Amino acid sequence: MDFFTSRDGTTIGCEKAGSGPPLLLVHGTTADHRRWAGITPKLARQFTVYAMDRRGRGGSTDAPDYHLIREAEDVAAVVDGIGGPVRIVGHSYGAVCSLEATLLTDNVDRMILYEPPIPSDLPVYPPGVPERMQTLIDTGEREAALEAFFREVVRMPDHEFVQYRALPMWKSRIELAPTIPRELAIDRIYTFDTNKFADVQVPTLLLLGGDSPALFQRGIEAVHAALPKSAVTTLPGQQHIAMDTDPELFLEVATGFLTD
């Protein structure tokens, strides 16, 4: 594992594999670098893949004061530490961190953002969900909290949840459940300012599941309107985890853009 130091001194670990142009993978909520294990071997045939552990998990340390912008600084620190130009694939919450990182470094070559949960006029979660999840976590019922996150926040359908729960990463996600509440606070701690991105010239592909909830559709629309060099691709029949439910489709679309 390679290690990089963020602006506030936090250590960020990255699992490195393959050879070729550098590609940074930034995972979403309740995950670490292993979230990409199913597709990393194929990506590593074309890229030097850096799958990072976001702060507070895996090979990365944490800090007492949390904010999403600290995570953007982490992404920028890894990009600058690798040395540009670097391609990025950011998923969900990790996509928001990656987006903000483009304001902190000039070394991002191109970027894929898969369903960033940008706050909008639509609720991120039903009323009371964060509080109920925190209670479950505090009483040791981490798996129940994790299930509530995927069913009530991500709005994962039953057939997809059954498939997802069977993945090897599920047990690790249970252990990472305590990191969920601070990320669910995105609608309170983060404001998406479209004006900030008017000068960002990073070619960006925005991925949207064809069957995804309106929250993610609205987020894609907002980012597409803000970024001068963005395009939207819809993944037919997919929702939030196409890299798991249809990895061949995900890889075809992603590598096509990253190698264009």
CA R_g for the chain: 17
Question: 23-35: b or e for each residue (b if 16 or more CB lie within 10 Å)?
Answer: bbbbbbbbbbbbb
pTM assigned to the model: 0.94
**pLDDT digit string, tens, across residues 14-27:** 999 999 999 999 99
Mean pLDDT of 45-70: 96
Per-residue confidence (pLDDT) for residue 163, from 0 to 100: 86
Residue type, 148: A
The CATH number linked to 201 is 3.40.50.1820
Whether 12 is in a domain gets the answer yes
pLDDT at 120: 86
User: Residue 164 pLDDT > 90, yes or no?
Assistant: no
The answer to whether residue 227 sits within a structural domain is yes
Is it the case that residue 258 has pLDDT exceeding 90? yes
DSSP state of 34: G
Q: Across residues 171-191, what is the average pLDDT?
A: 90
**Residue 85 in this model has a pLDDT that exceeds 90:** yes
The C-alpha atoms of residue 178 and residue 142 are separated, in whole angstroms, by 8
Domain of residue 34: give its range: 2-124+192-258
Percent of the chain with pLDDT over 90: 83
* Secondary structure letter of residue 228 according to DSSP: T
C-alpha triplet 200, 205, 210: angle, nearest 5°: 140
Confidence of residue 223 (pLDDT cuts 50, 70, 90): very high
Residue 133 located in a structural domain: no
What b/e sequence results for 154-187 when a residue is b if at least 16 CB atoms lie within 10 Å of its CB, and e otherwise?
bbbeeebeeebeebebeebbbebbbbbbebbebb
- For residue 167, pLDDT over 90 is answered with no
Q: Is residue 249 part of a domain?
A: yes
Predicted pLDDT at 124 = 79
Tell me if 36 is assigned to some domain: yes
In sequence order, the 6+-apart residues with CB closer than 8 A to the CB of 243 are 36, 38, 39, 91, 250
Q: Which amino acid is at 56?
A: G
Q: Are 120 and 215 contacting, i.e. CB atoms less than 8 angstroms apart?
A: yes
Output DSSP code: residue 1.
Answer: -
Please say if the pLDDT value at position 87 is more than 90.
yes
Torsion from C-alpha of 80, 107, 259, 91, nearest 10 degrees: 70
Angle at 78 between CA 175 and CA 75, to 5 degrees: 65
- Is 181 contained in some domain? no
Q: How many domains does the chain have?
A: 1
Judge whether residue 121 has pLDDT over 90. no
> What is the rounded average pLDDT of the residues 2-23?
97
